[in-house]
Structure 1
Amino acid sequence: MFATTAALVTSVLLGVQDPQIEALTDLVHELRSEVSELKNKQSKSWISAQRADEVRELVSDILADADTRSNLQGSAALAGYDGGAFLKSTDGNWSVKINGLLQSRWLYNKADTQTSQHGFEMRRTKLTFSGHVVDPSWTYKISPTWSRAGGSNTLDAYIQKKFDDGSWFKFGQFKANFLRENIVSSSKQLTVERSMLDNAFTYGWTQGVELGWKNDDVKIVAQYTDGPNQSNTVALQDPVNAWTVRAEFRFGDAGWKDFN
């Protein structure tokens, strides 16, 4: 368009004096330079926009590939220590915590009619795996243990479902709610060992189902089990089925966890 205009201006002014023609010619050259410069700028701008589109497409492909690789590798997990070494999913719906207990002791036994005896032993050796699955309301606990004689066994092995109203349902192998002394974990006893009374009358671990409920002041637990000391047994072994019901009332400012 500018070139056509310049040509027309030149042809119309052929009869004008030479100085004027030269001035107009210079103006035409100047206009041509400006038009050429504008064309170059537009070309560079178009190239930049095209490159920007290509870069966007490349970034999108890279992100899509990274997302695919991430899905193939599985979800990320969180790890750390909070009352035990733990590993859990980022959404908080799956977790496992690992705890352990080692209790070693030296014993000395002396009686008038017997030869004195003494020595070391591993009173308790156990691991505990606990956490939740699917969501935090479904909890589990598995506790393998090793006896003083060297054999292995299982203490806790249960799954528990908690409800919003403070109730819960548990099934598997767990400790019976009978004597308070036995309910408190061996890792939290205030003396060297539980009393002889507990040793004689405790229910110990058993297999069955449990239904419980608690609020800030009251806790009630009912269990239907195979009877006392029926851990690691088979179903058709003629167990003595038993009901165990325990109610606790809390006074003061301490929470239920302070009594575990």
Structure 2
Amino acid sequence: MWTEPPPPPAYITPEPDISGEIESIRQDLAEIRDERNRIYIDELRRMEIERIVTDMIIDSQDRSFGSGRPWNEIASEDGSFTMEFGMYTQSSWSLNQTQGETAERGFQVDTVRITFEGTIIDPTWSYQTRLTYSPDSPGYMQFAFVQKDLGNGAFVQMGLLEPPFSLEESIDNNQQLGVCLSFTAGQWDAQSIPGVTLGWSSDDLRGWVSITDAWGGEQNSFFPNRRQVIIARGEWKPFGDWNDLYDFNPYPETVAPGMLVGIGAAQGWGSAAIGTPSEYTGPDTRLTADLSLQRPGLGGMATISWQSNVPLNPLDGGGDRLAVVSQVGWFLDPKFELYARGEWGRTTNVGVEASDLGVMTLGFSWMPLSNRQIKFSAEFMQIWGDARYWRIDGDPGIRQIDDPQSIVRAQLQLSF
């Protein structure tokens, strides 16, 4: 009779499960191998990302600094097309206190402009386009023209222009002194008008002659326009730099001593009814002369302007005018500037008796970067006389009334 074998004695250890332990070790090795592979792959990815970022930085430097172009400019590989982008903003707060009237105060976006400029075809062909927002308009094309360099300093422009006439209206907003241009400057602003300009420039002399539609803008069609105007400006620079003399802020670290003498003349004729409720006609004449002097940290400008026979109705700012402006800017250090401006104006042949206008402005500007990129200005303005019949060119805080006005204005400007 068969029987089960007896169990082994208690002191004898059973055989271990070798295959199970081997399988466990294999699993541990696989996990270690997977973890090492994951770390290796992550390291490869990190190195690849670093390489891509480095290549992008190097490529960006080659496109800007390496190519000699600014960071905000793009260009085709052969350089036949370039486009540079610029932006500028002005935002202000104003307080107007007039005797017997409720004080007015508040914020205002004075200017927002976006500019595109560059070359096409070859460096002798260039273009400029600017879109602008102002309190008077939700947005408009300030200028858009194509320019052809003719050689020997001569060039021709055609399109929507801002023909050079007075010095104040020829400079950019970020080159003005303080919060705004003089109050009377807007009276001699040709604004945006279509036409053609022939210009010439040398080391010491330059000038422009423009043939355009009627003075005052708001015209981009030949119908029903039958009015033309010739606008001319000439400048003489005995010494200095053209660009420095077109900036009313004489930065002490960058501006060279200079002197600029300018004259402008305009004559219009014919009739027009674009941008006005009714047709207007008759000749009109405008003249201006200016003198600028500057040295590092100190600069001044004086101008006299006159107009005659400008149709009063329906135009804004018609009649006969005479105005004188004088201003000075003085840097206490490379970041802080004091400035002052005085104005006088007389209005005649506007259908009513208007007293002479007087304006005094005192203020300061702070430029933390010692240039025009960031500028904070604050000023006090006092107005005497009749301001009702002058054409305002975006001056914040001013009322067109025949009473004395006290105005406090502060403004932040950003430009690149």
TM-score range for the pair, normalised by the shorter chain length: 0.5 to 0.7
Moved over 3 A (4+): 76-84
Query: Which of 222, 243, 260 does residue 257 from structure 1 map onto?
Result: 243
TM-score, length of structure 2 as denominator length: 0.42
Query: Which of 95, 98, 123 does residue 82 from structure 2 map onto?
Result: 95
TM-score, length of structure 1 as denominator length: 0.65
Read off the aligned partner of 1:172 and give its amino acid letter: G
> For this pair of structures, how many residues does the alignment match?
184
Read off the aligned partner of 2:166 and give its amino acid letter: L
Shift of 1:94: 0.6
Alignment match, 2:73 = 86
Read off the aligned partner of 1:243 and give its amino acid letter: I
Alignment match, 1:221 = 208
Read off the aligned partner of 2:114 and give its amino acid letter: L
Contact 1:206 1:230 in 2 (8 A): yes
5+ residue gaps, structure 1: 1-75
Alignment match, 1:5 = none
Alignment match, 2:97 = 110
Alignment match, 1:17 = none
* d(CA) in 2 for partners of 1:145, 1:202: 16
Against the structure 1 CA distance between its residues 251 and 97, is the aligned structure 2 distance closer, same or farther, given a 3 Å change threshold?
same
Query: Which of 125, 130, 134 does residue 117 from structure 2 map onto?
Result: 130
Alignment match, 2:30 = none
5+ residue gaps, structure 2: 1-58, 247-416
SS of alignment partner, residue 97 of structure 1: strand
* d(CA) in 2 for partners of 1:201, 1:100: 25
Shift of 1:93: 1.3
Contact 1:86 1:98 in 2 (8 A): yes
Deviates more, 1:100-109 or 1:222-231: 222-231
* d(CA) in 2 for partners of 1:179, 1:146: 22
Against the structure 1 CA distance between its residues 237 and 83, is the aligned structure 2 distance closer, same or farther, given a 3 Å change threshold?
farther
Alignment match, 1:29 = none
Q: Which has the higher contact order (CA 8 A, sep 6+)?
A: 2
**Larger C-alpha radius of gyration, 1 or 2?**
1
Contact 2:163 2:197 in 1 (8 A): no
Alignment match, 2:250 = none
> Which structure shows the higher strand fraction?
2
Alignment match, 1:178 = 165
Contact 2:64 2:70 in 1 (8 A): no
* d(CA) in 2 for partners of 1:229, 1:121: 24
* d(CA) in 2 for partners of 1:230, 1:188: 23
* d(CA) in 1 for partners of 2:110, 2:71: 21
> Which structure shows the higher helix fraction?
1
SS of alignment partner, residue 181 of structure 1: helix
Shift of 1:128: 0.2
The reply on whether 1:197 has 2:184 as its aligned counterpart is yes
